[in-house]
Homo-oligomer: A and B are copies of this chain.
Amino acid sequence: MHWLDNVAWNEDGLIPAIAQDAASGRVLMVAWMNREALQLTAARQTATYWSRSRNKLWHKGEESGHVQVVKEIRLDCDGDVVILQVEQQGGIACHTGRESCFYRVLAQEGDAPQWEIRDAVLKDPTHIYSKGSGHE
C-alpha cells in the first residue's frame, strides 16, 4: 500500500499537522495538509501545508524565511493526524512573531477564566512579512 493511502484524509482531503520543535519539544503550530503537501514535506524535508484561507499550497517560510526543517514524521493510530519534528529556522513559527502559536494560557482572573498572553513577540510581524499579508 502506498504510504499516502494509509492516511485517513477528511472529507476535504485534509489532515491536521502538528509541528513540534525537535529540540525543546515545544508545540509550535498546527496547520493542514492535503496529499500533495504531505508528499512534498516528505520529499523536501521542509514543511509544506495547505492554506485553507488562500486555497493553495503553503511552503512554510516562503515569505518569512521561517522554514521548518523536518527531522521526523509520525502518524497517529487513526491515521488522521501527523506530527512533524522540526528545526524552526529563525526560532519563530507564529505569524504574530512569537516562537509558538500557542501563546495564550487559560488563567483564572477574578470570577471568570480568561485567555492570557504569556509569550513575548520576538520580532515585529511587519518586519517578517514584507508584503504585509500577515499569514505568509
Binding site for B on A (CB under 8 A): 2-3, 6, 16, 18, 20, 24-27, 29-30, 42, 72-78, 81, 83, 94-96, 98, 101-106, 112-115
Contact = CB atoms under 8 A, between A and B. Distances in A.
A71 B4 CA distance: 35
A5 to B, nearest CB: 11
12 contacts: A3-B106, A6-B115, A16-B16, A16-B81, A25-B25, A72-B105, A74-B104, A75-B104, A75-B115, A76-B104, A77-B103, A81-B102
A42 B77 contact: no
Given A3-B112, A3-B115, A42-B113, A105 B27 contact: no
B106 A42 contact: yes
Chain copies in the assembled complex: 2
A105 B29 CA distance: 20
Contacts of A101: 76-78, 81
Contact of A106 (B27, B73, B95, B96): B73
Contacts of A81: 16, 30, 101-102
Give 6 closest A-B pairs by Cβ, nearest first: A25-B25, A76-B101, A74-B102, A73-B106, A77-B101, A30-B81
